[in-house]
Structures are given as structure tokens and as C-alpha cells.
Structure 1
Amino acid sequence: MTLHHFVLIVHLLAATIWVGGHLFLLVCFLPQALKEKNPQIILNFEKKFEKLGMTSLILLIITGIWMAYDFGVTAESWFHFKTGFEKAISIKLLLLFATFICAVCAQFFILPNLDKNAIWKMAIIITTVTLIGITMLVLGSTMRYGGI
């Protein structure tokens, strides 16, 4: 097994946790929280998932940048959008930034004041982060064929 293959496996496992956790939250917990107007359901999930989820996200960033360099897409060529690899990686970086913005909004503006009247704001963040994660997963799958 090459080092690149090992890094890819770590990346895929981290993506499984990150995207799978958000899908699980979106499909299983969010509908119940919205129906019951009970933000505690979301807060309980967040409390249990946060350490594993954030560790996975950090691993995704590290391994993603590592593999980008393996594909010849260094920081100097990010956002040039010239090759298929550059396009896929640059879009993934933009989506990572969008995820970061969602996380900041959630942590500093929504979660501290989460109540039954504001639960819909958290629903928007959860849905957005989940869709971003799925999009990044699809973009990652294109790397096998040279990107997009």
C-alpha cells in the first residue's frame, strides 16, 4: 500500500463520519426536533457528535490538502481552475469555507440562543452543511478520473 492510498483511506473514513453523521442528524433527529419544537434533540446530538465530527473534519482538511499536493495542485495553483484536478480541489476549498461560515454562524449566533422559535435556523444550517458534505463527496469521487 502506498502512502497516498493510506491517506485516501483515512480521508474516506473521515468523510464517512462527517457526511454520515450529518445525514443521520438531518434524516433522523431534525424532523423529530422540528415536529416537537424541541431544540434539545439537536443539542444532545451535537454534544455527542462534536468531538468525533470535528476530529473527522480536521482529518479531512489535512488529508485533503495532502492529496491535493500529491495530485500536483499546490497552494499556488488553488483557484486557478485550469485543470480538472484544480477545478475539483478549488471548488472543494470554497465549499470548506462555506462550511466554516455555517459553523461560525451556528456556534456563535444560533446554538447559544437555540429555542423552539429559532429551531428553523438550525435546520437551515444542518441542511446546508449536509448538502455541502455530499457535494464535496461527489467532487472527491471525480478525482479518480482527473477531476471535473
Structure 2
Amino acid sequence: MTLHHIVLIFHLIAATIWVGGHLLLSICYLPTALKKKEPQIILNFEKKFENLGISSLAVLILTGTWMAYDFGVTFKTWFSFSGGFEKVVSIKLLLLLLTFIFAICAQLYFIPKLNQNNIKNMAFVILSVTAIGVAMLVLGSTLRYGGI
């Protein structure tokens, strides 16, 4: 087993936690919170998942960067979109930036003021971050075949 393969395994475990947690929130908890107009359901999940989720995101960033360099996609070629690997890495970096924007908005604007009247705004953020996570997972799977 190569070092790259070990890094990939850690990346996949972290992706399982990150994407799986958001899918769980989106599919199991969010519909109930919206139906009952009970934001505490979302807040309770966020409180329990936050440390594990943020830790897995940090692992994803570290291992993703490591593997990008292994594939020859260095900082200088980020956003060059010149080949299959560069396209995937660049798109994933843009999606990561979008995830950060959603996270900042959630932490600064939506979560502190979350109530029955604005729960749909938080639902939009949750569903968006979940969709981004799934998209990044699908993009990553294309690297086995040379990217897109």
C-alpha cells in the first residue's frame, strides 16, 4: 500500500463523515424541523455534529491538497483548467470556497437568529451545502479515470 493510498483512505473516511452527516441532516432531521417549524431540531444536530464535521472538513482539505500535489496539480496550476485533474481540483476548490461562504453566513446570520419564521433560510443553506458535498464526491470519483 502506497502513502497516496493511505491518504486516499483518510480522505474517503472524512468525506463519508462530512457528506454523510449533511445527508443525514437533510433527509432525516430537516424535514421534521420544517414540518414542525422547530428550529431546535437543527440546532441540536448542529451542536452534536459540529466538532466531528469541522474536523472531517479539515482532513478533507489536507488530504485533498496532498493528493492534488501527488497528481501534479500544484498551487501554480490551480484554476488553470488545463487538464482533467486540474479541472476537478479547480472546481472542487471553487465548491469549497462556496461551502465556506455558506458556513460563514450560517454561523453569523442564520444560526444565531434561527426561529420559526426564518427556518426556511437555514434549510436552503443546509440543502446547498449537502448538494455541494455530493457534487464534490462525484467529482472526486472521476479522478480514477483522469478527471473530467
* TM-score, normalised via structure 2 length: 1.00
Q: Distance in 2 between matches of 1:86 and 1:98?
A: 18
Q: Distance in 1 between matches of 2:59 and 2:7?
A: 10
Cα deviation digits, residues 23-51 of structure 1 (max 9, x gap): 00000000000000000000000000000
Instruction: Give the secondary structure class of the aligned counterpart of 1:66.
Output: helix
Residue 7 of structure 2 aligns with which residue?
7
Residue 118 of structure 2 aligns with which residue?
118
Amino acid across the alignment from 1:22: H
Residue 130 of structure 2 aligns with which residue?
130
How many residues align? The count is: 148
Give the CA deviation at 1:19: 0.2
Q: Distance in 2 between matches of 1:70 and 1:142?
A: 16
CA RMSD of aligned residues (A): 0.3
Residue 83 of structure 2 aligns with which residue?
83
Give the CA deviation at 1:126: 0.3
Runs of 4+ residues deviating >4 angstroms: none
Instruction: Give the secondary structure class of the aligned counterpart of 1:112.
Output: coil
Residue 36 of structure 1 aligns with which residue?
36
Give the CA deviation at 1:114: 0.3
Amino acid across the alignment from 1:103: A
Unpaired segments of 5 or more residues in structure 2? none
* TM-score, normalised via structure 1 length: 1.00
